[in-house]
Amino acid sequence: MISYQTSKEIEKAIAFLVHVINTSGNNPKPVILHSILVGLSLAKLDYPVHIIQAGFLHDTIEDSSTSIESVKEQFGGKVATIVAGCTYDRSIQNKAEQYKDAMQRATEAGKETLIVMAADLIQNEPYYNQGDFTQYPWDKIIYFIGLAESYLKDEPIWKNLELIKQKIYEADQKSKI
């Protein structure tokens, strides 16, 4: 059960997310729903409130005009550090290099950032089989799992990553038939 105080902190993050995406969002995908699912998945796994808040806010920098300083002012340094670590550098043009850079920075930022990035990848999984996607998202997850396994294998979120890893393996086996 989520405590009253934690509920208030979660609601604050959701309100901030909705405000910044509605006023300056620039992603045609359902960012608000996706971000809420990321945050709720972390809450369901009983992560601390700052990790849950970062889950709700993980896309706010790259998908709105808000700044990391604004996140820090509203939610503190821990949340801002995690959000910054999950933010892709749009100045990197190559998508593979972009995700590798973000994942390397997430690793340097620490386990909490990797937890949020894992939740993000897990919640994006339903989109990976859409017609406009290529092998890229699967490569991204495999790269992340290889990078993060030693940090996350004892975390509650690891089980969910293992399920996606199994789906990728099964799809790969089918493609070889």
Q: Residue ranges per domain, the chain?
A: 4-175
Rounded mean pLDDT, 28-46: 94
Rounded mean pLDDT, 153-166: 92
Q: Is residue 13 predicted with pLDDT exceeding 60?
A: yes
Do residues 57 and 81 make contact, with C-beta atoms less than 8 angstroms apart? no
Distances (CA, A) of 171 to 120, 129, 138: 21, 11, 10
What are 71-122's pLDDT values in tens digits? 999 999 999 999 999 999 989 999 889 999 999 999 999 999 999 999 999 9
From CA 145, how far away is CA 59, in angstroms rounded?
Answer: 20
Main-chain phi, psi angles of 159, to 5 degrees:
-55, -40
Q: Which CATH architecture has domain 4-175?
A: Orthogonal Bundle (1.10)
Instruction: Return the DSSP state at 59.
Output: T
More confident residue, 15 or 24: 15
pLDDT computed for residue 177 by the predictor: 66
Nearest Cα neighbor of 20 from 65, 85, 54 is 65
pLDDT computed for residue 98 by the predictor: 93
| Portion of the chain with pLDDT greater than 90, in percent | 71
From CA 142, how far away is CA 123, in angstroms rounded?
Answer: 15
Q: Is residue 160 predicted with pLDDT exceeding 90?
A: yes
pTM attached to this predicted model: 0.91
